[in-house]
C-alpha cells in the first residue's frame, strides 16, 4: 500500500510523489527552481505573519506558481498566535486569492476562529478546496465545517466519532509532525471507517497520482 500524505513537516517522509511537504516562505527562499523534494505546499503560517511584509506576497506568488507546489499553506487563523487577528486575516486573504488565481487547494490551520473561517468562505466563495488540517474537533464542529464546504484532514490525534461522520471524499490524511508512518495513520482511520485503507483515496485524487 502506498498512502498519500497531504501534509508533513518531517524531512524523512516518503515517497516523494505522494508526500506534500509543508514549507514556509522563508524555507523555500534560496531553493532551486525545481528542488529535489517532490511535492510541497508553501505559505505563511498565522504564527509567523508578524515576520513578513506586504511585499512578501509577491514572492509567495512566484513560488505558488511552480508546478511542484501543489497546495497553498499552511496558512489560516489562530486565536493563540501573537499577531493580531487583523494582520492574520490580511495574510490569509492574500493567500486565498493566490489559491484561486493558481487553482490550488489550501491547507488550513485554524484554532479558535472557526466561525470567522466559515463566514469568510461564505463571503469569498472560493472554487478551491479548503482542507482543515490536523482536525481534532468534535462531530458537531466537523458538520459545520463540511456544511461550509470545507474538507478535513486527520493526523495521529483525532476524534473517532468525527472520523465516522466524515465522508471519505472529504477526508484527508496527514502525518504533520507525528512519528507514526502515514500508512499507520491510514490504518487507524480505515479501522474506524470499517473500510480498506486504499478506499481512503481523497489525497490521491487531490494530487492526481
- Give me the residues that bind Zn ion (CB under 5 A), please: 176
Work out how close the CB of 176 gets to Zn ion at its nearest, in angstroms, rounded to a whole number: 5
Work out how close the CB of 87 gets to Zn ion at its nearest, in angstroms, rounded to a whole number: 20
Chain residue at closest Cβ approach to Zn ion: 176
Q: Which of 47/52 has CB closer to Zn ion?
A: 47
- In terms of phi and psi (left: phi > 0; alpha: psi -120 to 50; beta: otherwise), the region of 78 is beta
Q: Which of 3/176 has CB closer to Zn ion?
A: 176
d(CA 162, CA 138): 6
Q: Which of 5/176 has CB closer to Zn ion?
A: 176
| 3-class secondary structure, 20 | strand
Q: Which of 111/141 has CB closer to Zn ion?
A: 111
Give Cβ neighbours of residue 21 (< 8 Å, ≥ 6 apart).
8, 9, 13, 37, 38, 39, 40, 41
Work out how close the CB of 60 gets to Zn ion at its nearest, in angstroms, rounded to a whole number: 17
Compute the CA torsion angle 196, 198, 202, 206 (nearest 10 deg).
180
Work out how close the CB of 13 gets to Zn ion at its nearest, in angstroms, rounded to a whole number: 12
Neighbours of 203 (CB within 10 A): 24
Q: Which of 38/143 has CB closer to Zn ion?
A: 38
d(CA 199, CA 203): 11
Work out how close the CB of 7 gets to Zn ion at its nearest, in angstroms, rounded to a whole number: 6
Q: Residue 167 burial (CB < 10 Å; 0-12/13-18/19+)?
A: exposed
d(CA 82, CA 114): 18
Amino acid at each position: 500500500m502506498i498512502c498519500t500524505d497531504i501534509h508533513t513537516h518531517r524531512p524523512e517522509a516518503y515517497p516523494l510523489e505522494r508526500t506534500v511537504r509543508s514549507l514556509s516562505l522563508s524555507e523555500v527562499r534560496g531553493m532551486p527552481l525545481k528542488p529535489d523534494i517532490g511535492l510541497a505546499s508553501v505559505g505563511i503560517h498565522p504564527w509567523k505573519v508578524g515576520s513578513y511584509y506586504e511585499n512578501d506576497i509577491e514572492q509567495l506568488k512566484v513560488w505558488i506558481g511552480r508546478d511542484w507546489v501543489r497546495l497553498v499553506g499552511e496558512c489560516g487563523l489562530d486565536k493563540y498566535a501573537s499577531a493580531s487577528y487583523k494582520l492574520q486575516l490580511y495574510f490569509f486573504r492574500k493567500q486565498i486569492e493566490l489559491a484561486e488565481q493558481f487553482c490550488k487547494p489550501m491547507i488550513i490551520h485554524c484554532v479558535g476562529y472557526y466561525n470567522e473561517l466559515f463566514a469568510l468562505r461564505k463571503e469569498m466563495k472560493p472554487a478551491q478546496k479548503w482542507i482543515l488540517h490536523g482536525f481534532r474537533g468534535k462531530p458537531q464542529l466537523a458538520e459545520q465545517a463540511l456544511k461550509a464546504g470545507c474538507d478535513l484532514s486527520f493526523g495521529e490525534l483525532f476524534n473517532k466519532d468525527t472520523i465516522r461522520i466524515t465522508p471519505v471524499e472529504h477526508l484527508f490524511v496527514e502525518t504533520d509532525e507525528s512519528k507514526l508512518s502515514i500508512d499507520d495513520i491510514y490504518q487507524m482511520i480505515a479501522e474506524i471507517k470499517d473500510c480498506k485503507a486504499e478506499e481512503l483515496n481523497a489525497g490521491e485524487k487531490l494530487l492526481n497520482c
